[in-house]
């Protein structure tokens, strides 16, 4: 990371950064990674912070300073934020989790249809003279025996020169010109011919980057639940506790048991508070 951008123009920095960190992460098998970094072209100064610990914020710079990048990761959750006040400094943040799981209850190797529910929120803003703001969210899965990959891809690139704008956001991208503005999307991905009875992997990656702009995806990308056909069971590896991917049977997702209504009310109240900014980014 430190040597990647040294001595290059901002355009080359951005292309290299996008190619190296975005575009779909490989399966990492029960792993967490959050990284925040910056590079100042004129001085060659650069640094990065990384963690593999769940719910631990890593950052470079300060919110009140010339640049700020931060990231957080947990199974089922990605948060990133990248801000730079000048085109001379490039900031980047990335959050990646990958988890193995097994499905049982059918013929080994046979396909299992899953419904994967996700959501994300992000925004881009450019400063005068900005060169770049970008976010990308990917969700990939594969069977250990087949290696086939499905994926959701949400990516938006904005150029301050107003000469380039690329955006691909499913159901809900609301750009305000040259890809600036807020993006919100949620939905259920029906996956019919990928996951099998046996071992499988799911990987989620969220990245933001900027030079004289802000790319904010700290509030946030989530895997909400995975619906499994009745009769199919699931399990995680020995290092995973609880049910972080929120597997549930189709009958459970369709009709909550009476005892779950109170819990659902609490979750909805929490989500409403979250939407109103109660869980704001830490400011240093």
pLDDT (tens digit per residue) in 172-203: 555 556 678 888 888 888 888 889 999 999 99
Query: DSSP secondary-structure letter at 2?
Result: T
DSSP helix/strand/coil, 134: strand
The continuous run of DSSP H or E covering 267 comes out as helix 261-275
Position 169 scores a pLDDT of 74
Q: Report how far apart, in Å, the C-alpha atoms of 74 and of each of 104, 159, 245, 276, 280 are.
A: 25, 31, 11, 22, 17
The number of helix segments (H) and strand segments (E) in the chain equals: 3, 16
Residue found by looking up tokens 């990371």 in the block:
1
Which residues partner with 60 through β-bridges? 69
Give me the residue spans of the domains in the chain.
10-275
Per-residue pLDDT of the chain (284 residues; tens, 9 = 90+): 322 233 334 443 343 343 334 433 344 479 999 999 999 999 999 999 999 999 999 999 999 999 999 999 999 999 999 999 998 999 999 999 999 999 999 999 999 999 999 998 888 888 877 778 888 998 888 888 765 555 666 777 776 555 567 777 765 555 556 678 888 888 888 888 889 999 999 999 999 999 999 999 999 899 999 999 999 999 999 989 999 999 999 887 554 444 443 443 443 344 333 333 333 344 34
Residue found by looking up tokens 């499988």 in the block:
200
Tens of pLDDT, residues 196-232: 999 999 999 999 999 999 999 999 899 999 999 999 9
Instruction: Compute the distance between CA of residue 195 and CA of residue 127 in angstroms, rounded to an integer.
Output: 44
C-beta separation of 41 from 11 below 8 A: no
Position 55 scores a pLDDT of 97
Query: DSSP secondary-structure letter at 25?
Result: P
Position 159 scores a pLDDT of 64
Position 171 scores a pLDDT of 55
Instruction: Tell me how far apart the terminal alpha carbons of the chain are, to the nearest angstrom.
Output: 24
pTM for this prediction: 0.78
Q: Report how far apart, in Å, the C-alpha atoms of 30 and of each of 84, 99, 110, 174 are.
A: 32, 4, 23, 34
Instruction: Compute the distance between CA of residue 36 and CA of residue 23 in angstroms, rounded to an integer.
Output: 18
DSSP helix/strand/coil, 19: helix
Position 23 scores a pLDDT of 38
């Amino acid at each position: 990371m430190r040597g990647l951008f040294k001595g290059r123009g901002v355009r080359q920095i951005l292309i290299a950064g996008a190619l190296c960190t975005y575009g779909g992460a490989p399966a990492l098998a029960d792993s967490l990674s959050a990284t925040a970094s910056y590079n100042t072209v004129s001085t060659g100064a650069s640094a990065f912070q990384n963690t593999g610990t769940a719910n631990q914020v890593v950052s470079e710079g300060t919110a009140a300073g010339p640049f700020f990048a931060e990231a957080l990761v947990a199974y089922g959750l990605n948060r990133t934020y990248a801000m730079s006040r000048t085109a001379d400094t490039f900031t980047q943040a990335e959050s990646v989790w990958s988890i193995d799981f097994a499905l049982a209850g059918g013929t080994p190797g046979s396909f299992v249809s899953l419904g994967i529910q996700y959501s994300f929120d992000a925004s881009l803003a450019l400063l005068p003279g900005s060169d770049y703001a970008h976010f990308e969210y990917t969700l990939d899965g594969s069977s250990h025996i087949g290696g086939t990959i499905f994926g959701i891809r949400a990516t938006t690139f904005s150029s301050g020169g107003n000469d380039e704008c690329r955006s691909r956001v499913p159901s809900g991208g609301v750009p305000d010109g040259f890809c600036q503005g807020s993006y919100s999307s949620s939905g259920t991905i029906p996956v019919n011919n990928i996951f099998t009875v046996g071992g499988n992997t799911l990987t989620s990656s969220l990245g933001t980057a900027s030079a004289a702009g802000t790319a904010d995806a700290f509030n946030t990308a989530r895997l909400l639940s995975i619906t499994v056909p009745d009769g199919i069971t699931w399990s995680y590896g020995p290092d995973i506790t609880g049910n972080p991917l929120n597997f549930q049977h189709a009958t459970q997702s369709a009709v909550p048991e009476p005892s779950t209504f109170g819990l659902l009310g609490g979750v909805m109240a929490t989500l409403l508070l979250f939407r109103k900014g109660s869980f704001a980014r830490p400011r240093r």
